[in-house]
Structure 1
Amino acid sequence: MTISASQVMSLRSATGAGMMDCKKALEESGGDMDKARDFLRKKGIAVAAKKSDRATREGGVAIALNDDASAAGMVRLACETDFVARNEKFKGLLERMARQVLAKGDADVPAQTLADGGGTVTEALTAAISTTGENIQFIEARRVALNGQGLVSGYVHSTGKIGVLVVLQCGAAKRGELERVGRDVAMHIAASNVVAIDQSGIPQAELDKEQEIFMAQARESGKPDDIAQKMVQGRLKKFVKEISLLDQPFVKDPDKTVQAMLAEAGKALGAGIAVKEFVKFKF
């Protein structure tokens, strides 16, 4: 039977598949639109299987916050090329997966049933592989929630390659100002090398490793052990400040630390502001 251009366009609009794939699907199904969709789904699964081992060096990050900013989900997906990473369909998939994490949490995300429809997350990714023609992989996800007063803030860099979630605790009622502070902190973390909120959050193994390196460097320079120890302690103290959020110079005003900025903002709000948690995803 003859397949019309309008049939092909209708199937393409409904599935996002290529023109030739749609034409073949309609021919194979005798022009039946439902059967053609099933044909493409089956073909998509086969295509996905072939592409699942291809390298994924690009990708993006998306964030979804609930209405009262008390919880948020963030997801990172990978694809093969920057072209697809910038594609609206891929961005839409990212946003859908972020909403999924917000709704159902970050445990075993690929196996989750979709919150906005039938099927699973894995099936949605498989369909996206068919639509884009590239391997798309789930990388990681996190859901954070506020415990007490304050808010959750999120920031995604304009490139879509970096995303940050921040949980702020504060008893102030001026929501708009607190949202601004939360966004500023999230932007700072996106632009900086932050390992922990303060020194207490830095893994001891990382401190031990740096101390060992600093000591080896001091001894290599021929310094006596007592002098070397003092040098190491000084360098370690500097290292800790460089990777601790509260001790870092605030990116929007390097003359003050993040801690000083929070203190000023808290004073203006009439209540202290504390960073309780942060998560950063990056490509």
Structure 2
Amino acid sequence: MADTASIMKLREQTGAGILECRNALDEVKGDFEKALEIIKKKGIAKAAKKEQRVTAEGRIGTYIHTNGKLGVMVELNCETDFVAKNEVFQQLLKDICMQVAATKPLAVKREDIPGHLVEEQKKIFNEEAKGKPAHILEKITSGKMDSFYKEKCLMEQPFIKDNTQTIQDLLVANIAKIGENIKVNRFVRFEVGEC
């Protein structure tokens, strides 16, 4: 039988219901880490079910660095205006603004990076690996492109407050917690002296 403190801690970290937390802890005989994994997997499944829902509401968040030389705007969408006013949603928006300010992503996801930049990057990586056999060259380029995407695509970046999860993981956890589909629609980052 799971103790109340563990149930509440699991609920606080995941946003899952009390019964769901208790059942997960009972299933793994009180092992908190294993219960956390179970809840996360269920959250991913819940998020996947909500993925096709329309996100026509939301908020625009901003961040201006203390020196006044860096600014960010992010549009975070959800399904209802009620959720857009929610504290959890607002905190997520702030965290994503900070992420964009700190990491300089080029796009929300891979598909959003302009094709000419992707091709340019591939050429650079191919040149670096020149002279290798074709099958190895392809693996090297593919691996370096994955690293490029993890650095330049917001959704694939490690979260600055917890590098064990990506921004996509953070979004999925918040979708499970809030119970609505949430999407980062777009962002813009301004820095004095950059074009």
Normalized against structure 2, the TM-score is what? 0.71
- Aligned positions, number: 148
Partner secondary structure for residue 21 of structure 2: helix
Structure 2 residue runs of 5 or longer lacking an equivalent are 108-153
Query: Given the alignment of the two structures, is residue 145 of structure 1 paired with residue 144 of structure 2, yes or no?
Result: no
Select between 21-30 and 36-45 the one with higher mean Cα deviation: 21-30
Residue 80 of structure 1 corresponds to 79
Residue 161 of structure 2 corresponds to 116
Which structure has the larger Rg?
A: 1
User: 1:116: how far off?
Assistant: 2.2
Task: Give, as a single letter, the amino acid of the residue that structure 2 aligns with 1:98.
Answer: C
Query: How many angstroms apart in 1 are the aligned matches of 2:54 and 2:9?
Result: 32
Residue 9 of structure 2 corresponds to 10
Aligned pairs (5 A) from 1:30-41 = 30-41=29-40
Kindly provide the CA deviation profile for residues 254-282 of structure 1, in whole angstroms up to 9, marking residues without a partner as x. xxxxxxxxxxxxxxxxxxxxxxx9xxxxx
Residue 19 of structure 1 corresponds to 18
Kindly provide the CA deviation profile for residues 32-88 of structure 1, in whole angstroms up to 9, marking residues without a partner as x. 111111111111111111110011121111111212010111111111112211111
Normalized against structure 1, the TM-score is what? 0.49
2:176 paired residue among 114, 130, 146 = 130
Query: Given the alignment of the two structures, is residue 44 of structure 1 paired with residue 43 of structure 2, yes or no?
Result: yes
Residue 101 of structure 1 corresponds to 100
Query: How many angstroms apart in 2 are the aligned matches of 1:10 and 1:111?
Result: 27
Kindly provide the CA deviation profile for residues 119-157 of structure 1, in whole angstroms up to 9, marking residues without a partner as x. 211111111111111111110011001129xxxxxxxxx
Query: How many angstroms apart in 2 are the aligned matches of 1:31 and 1:54?
Result: 35
Query: How many angstroms apart in 2 are the aligned matches of 1:7 and 1:104?
Result: 35
Higher relative contact order (CA 8 A, sep 6+): 2
Residue 121 of structure 2 corresponds to none
Partner secondary structure for residue 187 of structure 2: strand
Query: How many angstroms apart in 2 are the aligned matches of 1:41 and 1:140?
Result: 26
Partner secondary structure for residue 69 of structure 1: coil
Residue 255 of structure 1 corresponds to none
Task: Give, as a single letter, the amino acid of the residue that structure 1 aligns with 2:159.
Answer: L
Query: How many angstroms apart in 2 are the aligned matches of 1:44 and 1:93?
Result: 16
Task: Give, as a single letter, the amino acid of the residue that structure 2 aligns with 1:27.
Answer: D
Structure 1 residue runs of 5 or longer lacking an equivalent are 149-276, 278-283
- Any runs of at least 4 consecutive aligned residues in structure 1 with deviations exceeding 3 A, and if so which? none
Query: How many angstroms apart in 2 are the aligned matches of 1:59 and 1:52?
Result: 15
Kindly provide the CA deviation profile for residues 193-224 of structure 1, in whole angstroms up to 9, marking residues without a partner as x. xxxxxxxxxxxxxxxxxxxxxxxxxxxxxxxx
Query: How many angstroms apart in 1 are the aligned matches of 2:69 and 2:40?
Result: 38
Against the structure 1 CA distance between its residues 13 and 57, is the aligned structure 2 distance closer, same or farther, given a 3 Å change threshold?
same
Residue 187 of structure 1 corresponds to none
Residue 91 of structure 2 corresponds to 92
